[in-house]
Structure 1
Amino acid sequence: MAIPCYNYGHFLPDCVQTVLDQEGVDVDVLIVDDASPDGSGEVAEKLAASDPRVRAIARKQNVGHIKTFNEGLDGVDGEFVVLLSADDLLAPGSLARSAALLQAYPEVGMVHGFALTFADVPPPPRSDLRSWTIWPGEEWLTRVCRAGGNPVATPEVMMRMSTMRDLVGYDARVPHACDFLMWLRAAAHGSIGRLNGVDQAYYRVHGDNMHTEQYGGAITDISQRHHAYEIFFEEDGKDLPRAVELRDAARWALSQEALAAALGCYEDGPEAANRQLAKELADLAVQLAPAAADCRLMRALHRNAERAEAGKGPVVPARVRAARRKVRTHLEWRRWRRSGVESAVKAG
């Protein structure tokens, strides 16, 4: 278990305790603090002194999250490995369930489940495992490329150590999508497993998370995922039988996400419309997939832009958009629970 930490010393004891409380597995915990100015290194060293299963590395110089991730992964040993951020938590029984699937299916290199989001107090987890799903790597990649979104949160993932060694850690070329590229690459090296009907981890949502801004961070997020896809199809995925088709599907899905975000810039009316951001997102969509210049979402964006210029509100009234969004969110949630793959387009 590798636990990278930067300025999360106040979260670290709870995080580590959820690992030490795991039943049915032997745990080896390595905390790597990246020269946190908040005293996280001292917290890590105290935790290591209190339990022989815990070790700590307190860096004197900050090197950034990618090197910290990889140092943690390089420093742990065992058949399976988990990277758990110091602000996240494991659900009870998480490690034993993931390890059982990997032991039962040697062809699976990575297993994930569901991660509950929380801000302060984690909600009660579902603890009854319903079933396992095993996807051949190319089938999982097909689903993810067509959807465009990242369906997996880091704390819910367990990887076979041999797979992690083959992948040589996280890639600094995509600092905001290094986990996503890791999942894509894992699928090119083996099958992907999923645990159904049970909650495996908790992902903490707070102001310091990288992806909390609804539209302002969309360009970076979409661009980084696009870069991850491009690296993947130039390297690990270049020999897949349907590589060209899947690459085009990913580009199209991301273009539609960019346009959905651009439409969101007009949702609060002409006074609040962020027209420059909407234009940048629309330009990005066309760069990703030239055919997006004349798609349904682009036409809708042009109509809303024209109305905003005239001082009018969005084409679809707010109450109708809210109702649509509620239905779409529910359907997307059901799809995610059923298939394990999440669409990136969520605009109402």
Structure 2
Amino acid sequence: MSSVSVVIPCYAYGRFLEDAVASVLEDQPGVDVRVLIIDDASPDDSAEVAARIAAREPRVEVLLHRENKGNIATFNEGLMEWADGDYCTLLSADDLATPGSLRRACNLLDAHPEVGFVYGRAAWFTDGVPTPPARTHLRGESVIRGREWLEHRFRQAENPIVTPEVVARTSLQHRLGGYDPNLPKAADMELFMRFAAHADVGFLRGVDQALHRRHGTNMSTGVDPLADLVQRRAVFEQVLERYGHRLSGVRNLSTTVHRQLAREALWTAGREYDRSALTRSAPGRLLLRSTGTGTAEDRNELLAFAAECWPEVKRFPLYRTLEGGHRLGPRDVAFMARERGRWWARRRAWTYRGY
């Protein structure tokens, strides 16, 4: 029987902790599971809730921080110092594993020693409403060459993984190291790309491997769009610097990802500038409703980032409109609508294909 070490970092999520632990201990047949709850000096009752769980459940251990160490240090403490199972996974205290998810991941990892980590879809749900039923009927498995998976990341310029849906090979985790503290907003993306540079990637089709809870205190809430773009660019550039010799067409990959990030920055600048709402009043006709929010500083920083990534972006009409502080015109609105459509198309592609 395969063993899985589950690390559950917790900061002020005591109200979610019982459900998170139950999701990895119940409805997970055929897997030897051990759980470590790490409370990062929470100001709520998280430590007390964790202690109650461990008192009645021998498979659960608790580690309490006297001072807050932050998420990256907490993640690495659990994965690098405590995890000793065949496989390991990081589950935020506000998220849930789905029934059978650990067994499905273990089956693929057991059958394919060349695979470094496996993931599936993470379904999102809103806190305060009934938890949606998860899809648990496996429609198939894919083993993707690490290099191919990496190249898709450059074409999409996005991270297709939320995190709770990932189960990794512990030996690979220990060999390659933990989350990079220099990339606090994109450390998970860098870690998975690092894995893919050294091993193949497994994907489980047709199933929800985790449920990601949306609420007002998500760690991702309030992430600055520019900071996100800057960190993603840093990840891609770091991957090219360190692992470019493992990829083909490095120059094209670099151009592709920088162009994609520049277009996204331009689209975001337009959105931040005008906070536009696109509505359809008739087939094929788009109307712009202006709300007038967004600052000149925000706009200029995004435009500067876009031009630095890919100077050709300066030729776009939207760039010139925003640079001059003019009102968005029909061509600008159409461009933003197309870019939004392209973004959703990329997201649908990785949701259903896995890469």
TM-score by length of 2: 0.86
Corresponding letter in the other structure for 2:260: A
Q: Which one of 229, 241, 246 corresponds to residue 222 of structure 1?
A: 229
CA distance in 2, matches of 1:324, 1:201: 31
Distance 1:137 1:199 in 2: 22
Deviations 1:96-134 (A, max 9, x none): 001111111111001110001112232111111101111
Number of positions where the alignment pairs a residue of Structure 1 with one of Structure 2: 331
| Inter-partner Cα distance in structure 2 for 1:305 and 1:136 | 42
- The 1:278–1:210 alpha-carbon spacing in structure 2 relative to 1, beyond 3 Å, is farther
Report the counterpart of residue 280 of structure 2 in structure 1: none
Could you tell me which of 143, 155, 169 is aligned with 2:152?
Answer: 143
Partner residue of 2:352 out of 316, 338, 347: 338
Q: Is the partner of 1:10 in helix, strand or coil? A: helix
Q: CA deviation at 1:329?
A: 7.0
- 1:301 partnered with 2:310: no
Q: CA deviation at 1:210?
A: 3.4
Please, which runs of 5 or more residues in structure 1 have no aligned partner?
342-348
Moved more, 237-246 or 63-72: 237-246
Which residue identity lines up with residue 17 of structure 1 in the other structure? A
Matched, 1:184 2:184: no
TM superposition shift of 1:8: 0.7
Structure 2 letter corresponding to 1:277: D
Matched, 1:44 2:50: yes
**Residues of 2 paired with 1:95 and 1:218: CA distance?**
33
Q: Please tell me whether residue 251 in structure 1 is matched to residue 258 in structure 2.
A: yes
- The residue number in structure 1 matching 2:284 is none
Q: Distance in 2 between matches of 1:84 and 1:270?
A: 38
What letter is aligned with 1:173? Answer: N
| 1:245 aligned partner, one-letter code | N
Report if aligned partners of 1:29, 1:76 keep a CA contact under 8 Å in 2.
no
Counterpart position of 1:65: 71
In the alignment, structure 2 segments of 5+ residues that lack a partner are 1-5, 277-289
Say if 2:153 and 2:159, in contact at 8 Å, map to a contact too. yes
Q: 1:146 to 1:111 in 2, by over 3 A?
A: same
* Match in the other structure for 1:128: 137
What whole-Å deviation, never above 9, does each CA across 1:254-298 have from its counterpart, x for those lacking one? Answer: 22211121121224327335433122111101112233333xxx3
Which residue does 2:13 correspond to in 1?
8
RMSD: 2.4
Q: Which has the higher strand share?
A: 2
Q: CA deviation at 1:328?
A: 5.7
Moved over 6 A (4+): 320-327
**Distance change (3 Å), C-alpha of 1:171 and 1:317:** closer
SS across alignment from 1:82: strand
> In structure 1, what is the equivalent of residue 215 of structure 2?
206
Q: Which moved more, 1:51-60 or 1:242-251?
A: 242-251
Q: Provide the C-alpha distance between the structure 1 equivalents of 2:340 and 2:76, rounded to a whole number of angstroms.
A: 40
- What amino acid does structure 2 have at the position aligned with 1:138? R
Q: Does 1:260 align with 2:267?
A: yes
Over 3 Å counting, the alpha-carbon distance change for 1:253 and 1:322 in structure 2 is: closer
CA distance in 1, matches of 2:256, 2:8: 34
Distance in 1, Cα, partners of 2:247 & 2:189? 21
Which residue matches 1:276?
Answer: 297
Aligned residue runs from structure 1 range 85-124, under 5 A: 85-120=92-127, 121-124=130-133
Q: State the SS of the aligned residue for 2:75.
A: helix
Question: Shift of residue 302 of structure 1?
Answer: 2.3
Give the counterpart letter for 2:103 in structure 1. Answer: A
Query: What is the DSSP-based 3-state SS (H/G/I as helix, E as strand, rest coil) of the residue aligned with 1:239?
Result: helix
1:151, 1:105 → 2: CA distance?
A: 22
Q: Give the CA deviation at 1:305.
A: 5.9
Cα displacement (A) at 1:47: 1.0
The offset of 1:206, in angstroms, is 1.7
Deviations 1:56-110 (CA, angstroms, capped at 9, x unpaired): 0011111111110011112121100000011110111110001111111111001
TM-score where L is the length of structure 1: 0.88
Secondary structure of the corresponding residue to residue 7 of structure 1:
coil
Deviations 1:151-203 (A, max 9, x none): 01100000011110112111101011110000110000110110011101011
